[in-house]
Structure 1
Amino acid sequence: MTAAQRKPKPRTYDPAKVRAALDGQLTTLRRAVNALCEGPDAAATLAAPTRLGDWTVRDLIAHLAIALESLPVRLAQPAPGPAEPRVDVRGYLAAMRSGAEPVAAAAPAAARALGDEPAAAAARLDEAADRLASAVADADPAAPLATVLGPMTVADYTLTRLLEAVVHADDLAAATGVPFAHDRQALATVTRMLADALAAAAPGGSVEVRIPPFAVVQCVEGPRHTRGTPPNVVETDPLTWIRLASGRADWAAAVEDALVTASGERADLSGQLPLFG
């Protein structure tokens, strides 16, 4: 059987559980941003650099608001025709890997439009999260909506908003030094989504990737493991996995720092990562 024949079947996600995970993640994220913007050093905090190139913390918050607002904005636009091919979450990630992320370029301008008042940044994120929650609650998860990458269902696009909320919450924590308590279901869903994306991008059964307690996948072409201890095993924690998959962490450094254990001659995933960035 070829790697293409062994390509894993896409995982399905319960739209109601995804919405609940997104609500939980955004509740915590909004609380964290409001606390930052109300602090005595709010202006300096918002002007601080992040690990995202030239972006400041203010740019990051503006980007998050734009990313959340994009779903209600797209729902308000004419729906694509039923014959147009759909883009799923894997297609979205593949496009991001090639540099086609649709809203990142707008963040600095949006941040400048907020002005210097720290409360404006928190208010923008609050408003965006409220608009998103209202739009998702009223929308049919199977309904198509137009994106710059092609038509996506509301359910799949909601998953991408959850991905943004988890990855950028971690960016915010890295920039400010304030630990972030991710919603457990949000962290689990994004971990599984990215593990499945790896299995789809590098199909095969020679390497077992373990991300306890949320995901186990097999990937990479080669001899397939069927029983006993797998000869090639990679194991890491959910946040390290998300950082590796999103280009926030370096594979070699993570292995050296014992954040990743990789055993077996095929267990080097540096050629497959990041999945996007």
Structure 2
Amino acid sequence: MKILVCIKQVPQKDAPLKLNAAGTWIHEDVSYEVNEPDAYALEEALRQKEKHGGEVVVLTAGPARAQQVLREALAKGADRAIHLEDEKFVQLDSANTARAIHAAIAQESFDLIVTGLQSDDFGAAQTGVLLAEILGIPHATIIIGIEKTDTGLRLKRELEAGHYQHIETTMPALLTIQSGINKLRYATLIGIKQAKMKPVRKVTWADVESKISPNLQQIVRLYVPEKQKRTEMMEGPAPEVARKVVDYLRTAARVI
């Protein structure tokens, strides 16, 4: 089974974020890591390869620093990587990101494509399903279980309020993976050494520019939440303070 895993490099969860001068994105001087849902997608792809054989290819789009997440994936067991390398890929909307990925893999044929459910930065949860639409293949989202069958895949989806859905699909197919579907592995020392020898195919902006349209979504301005906490002290005898609290809740807060 030939599997493509789309992964993204995002700012670390505990990284101190500062807006750029234009207020349209963050300063680049932060630490980065692999997007958490994508890490689970990679792990599931590696498990499917271990069960059924085949090849796992990892793909990311971003500047040169994004190659770090590809090397981590290769160290964990992926066979090769594709890097859409340019700073311009960072600000693409979901539709154009899907178009760029489609252009980059046009000469390849995958049985299964997996992505994380959503990214930890933009959180749109759209790139995977849009890529499936462009490719003309079936897709399913919020996957927490995958079982290969003679005719395709049997899947378990997480729904709301603790409910689940069991569905079947043919291949090729695209799945967006929910965090927690499995237990993540660590890269071994030998895996880290082998990763340096595995191929990484570079795809430039010029290679896919003809397939990209003007962004349908654009960030105009970002804002840092302002602290508005205020403490008001009420003094006096208990009955008087109680009346003040009730009056405040009724007239100012309007919760009673």
TM-score range, shorter chain: under 0.3
Larger radius of gyration: 2
- Structure with a larger share of its residues in helix: 1
- Structure with a larger share of its residues in strand: 2
TM-score normalised by L of structure 1? 0.24
